[in-house]
Amino acid sequence: MSSPSSTVSAVAAEVLPQAARRRTFAVISHPDAGKSTLTEALALHARVIGQAGAVHGKAGRRGTVSDWMDMEKARGISITSAALQFEYRDAVVNLLDTPGHADFSEDTYRVLTAVDAAVMLIDAAKGLEAQTMKLFAVCRHRGIPVITVVNKWDRPGKDALELMDEVSERTGLVPTPLTWPVGIAGDFRGVLDRRDGSYHRFTRTAGGATIAPEEVLPATAAAAREGDVWGQAVEESELLDATEADHDQERFLAGETTPVIFASAVSNFGVGALLDVLVDLAPAPSGRPDADGAVRKLDDPFSAFVFKVQSGMDAAHRDRLAYIRICSGVFERGMVVTHSTSGRPFATKYAQHVFGRDRESVDVAYPGDVVGLVNANALSVGDSLYVESKVAFPPLTTFAPEHFAVMRARSTATFKQFRRGIGQLGSEGVAQILRSDRRGDQAPVLAVVGPMQFEVAQHRMENEFGAPVELDHLSYTIAVRTDAASAPAVGAARGVEVMEREDGELLALFRDKWDLRTLQQRSPELTLEPLVAAQL
């Protein structure tokens, strides 16, 4: 019989080979580009679901696996990130779907701290939109390699070469298409695989609910079948050859190029190719710098950080799930880890792999994996966890809010639920919670990046916590940091209010930049500092 120590050593020896199997990536794009549909199609092609949820037609419409909140199903958009884990070939895929709407940029940014690559979706008809450009910039800033998918090629859209020029000119990345469409946008017959010259012909399925049959033909057979349409695809691919738009793995990992796949996620065209590209080209996890810049190696003792906290996923239990990204070592269910901020032990009795809203217990996980810790009430977004050697990873960026509203319970009878809900929303990062003696504990101010966050907060307060609320929107548009010495004078200025955030920071709220500039010019000795915000 093996001893416990030999068992632990055997598990630890698996860290590097297991980490090498991991592919952890996010799907990001402008709203309505098809992120959740692509997420579902990837899961379908990996054969972890039997039928895609995006079945069209109002009578038979089903929600996608990754969009599980009532509001997401009603609106047809993602308003919270979701994690899916599945195996494909010999790889373990950790796929993070992100909110598409700009109002939830902060959630998207947090997800991008937890991935090793990104899949950027571009709508074939709209090209690079505002949110797409912002997300490209974040990926570049964080050194995240980007694979580009031109989606919705089954609908009328831009010329393929025009889209490649747009990607190159506006992002600075060199597009290196791995596949090229056969047929213009709106007449998607298949793709030319530029790596071997073969033709992958697609056949539609009813509603795109099942995997589209794919027939692989040599170039001669493709020419005989498709005629001039194939000839045009070959000519355009040869133009790309002349511009050296071929994949180079070193340049891709260095963030200089972006491999491109043409697809129709709703029809499941080109999705299998994307899965193969992710496994073959996307980087495996690597050592991660801590807050001091020292690299935590993959085979160092266990460490992880919390990048998202979510409650309300299980209506029967009303539990709270903290998503952690494992950075080093082995995670074993039941292990006791240390909370870096408080120095207190934290037991991981209930640990789960997440597949949308569905979960299963996880016994062992490795670097790159995303694990959900259930009822992790002591954990907040940005917290670090470790065993043995202490580590703290860089704090996650807090965005500068631009919208503010007072939230009050509609009934004093639900004030207990109201307080619990407010505390939960604050710890999840759904909104920044501000308080002051002037307004009292019964009227906290919610500060958010985008107004749709108010709708989410209001919906969740009523449906999860049983505390219907009313919102009183304020006219402030800017929040800056101040300090205790300056707060009395700042708060006495006309049209300015000083409030305390839950982390103890004092924030001064201004109606506009002119009010802020006037006070700065009149009283330059006062502390009025911009809040750190991500470049989104």
User: Tokens 């056969």, residue?
Assistant: 182
Distances (CA, A) of 487 to 371, 494, 497: 42, 13, 9
- Cβ-based neighbour number of residue 197 at 10 Å: 12
Mean pLDDT across 374-399: 87
φ, ψ (nearest 5 deg) of residue 397: -65, 135
- CB of 197 within 8 A of CB of 168? no
- Asked if residue 97 belongs to a known ligand binding site, the reply is yes
Under 8 Å between Cβ of 418 and 467: yes
What domains lie within the chain, and their CATH numbers?
A: 21-281 (3.40.50.300), 295-339+349-386 (2.40.30.10), 403-530 (3.30.70.3280)
pLDDT at 40: 82
| pLDDT for the residue numbered 64 | 45
pLDDT at 357: 57
412 in a known ligand binding site: no
d(CA 265, CA 270): 8
Q: Residue 443: how many CB atoms within 10 A of its CB?
A: 14
- The yes-or-no verdict on residue 533 having pLDDT over 80 is no
Does the structure show a pLDDT above 60 at 65?
no
Ranking 68-77, 168-177, 238-247, 509-518 by mean pLDDT, the lowest is 68-77
- The pLDDT value recorded for residue 47 is 66
Least confident piece of the model among 177-186, 358-367, 439-448: 358-367
Q: How confident is the model at residue 268 (pLDDT cuts 50, 70, 90)?
A: confident
Backbone angles phi, psi at 322, to 5 degrees: -105, 120
- Bigger pLDDT: 356 vs 456: 456
Q: Is 334 annotated as a binding residue?
A: no
Neighbours of 78 (CB within 10 A): 26
- Please state, rounded to an integer, the average pLDDT across all residues of the chain: 85
**Any known ligand binding at 300?**
no
Indicate the pLDDT class of residue 76, thresholds 50, 70 and 90: very low
Query: pLDDT-derived band of residue 123, with 50, 70 and 90 as boundaries?
Result: very high
Q: What is the amino acid identity at position 319?
A: D
Mean pLDDT across 39-64: 55
Could you give the CA distance from residue 526 to residue 520 in angstroms, rounded to a whole number? 7
Beta bridge partners of 25: 95, 117
- Span 402-422, average pLDDT: 94
Asked if residue 22 has pLDDT above 70, the reply is: yes
Share of the chain above pLDDT 70, in %: 85
DSSP assignments along 252-278, one per residue: HHTTSEEEEEE-BGGGTBSHHHHHHHH
Confidence (pLDDT) at 355:
63
Most confidently modeled range among 5-9, 79-83, 395-399, 430-434: 430-434
pLDDT of residue 335: 93
Extract the tokens encoding 415: 């004030």
**pLDDT above 80: residue 121:** yes
Higher-pLDDT residue of 116, 106 = 116
**8 Å CB contact between 376 and 309:** yes
pLDDT tens, residue by residue, 151-198: 999 999 999 999 999 999 999 999 999 999 999 999 999 999 999 999
Q: How far is Cα 358 from Cα 49, in angstroms, rounded to an integer?
A: 12
Q: What is the pLDDT of residue 61?
A: 36
The more confident residue out of 326 and 352 is 326
pLDDT in tens, 277-328: 999 999 999 999 999 999 999 999 999 999 988 765 445 545 678 899 999 9
The answer to whether 100 is annotated as binding is: yes
Through-space distance between the first and last CA atoms of the chain, rounded to whole angstroms: 56
| Least confident among 210-224, 305-319, 477-491 | 305-319
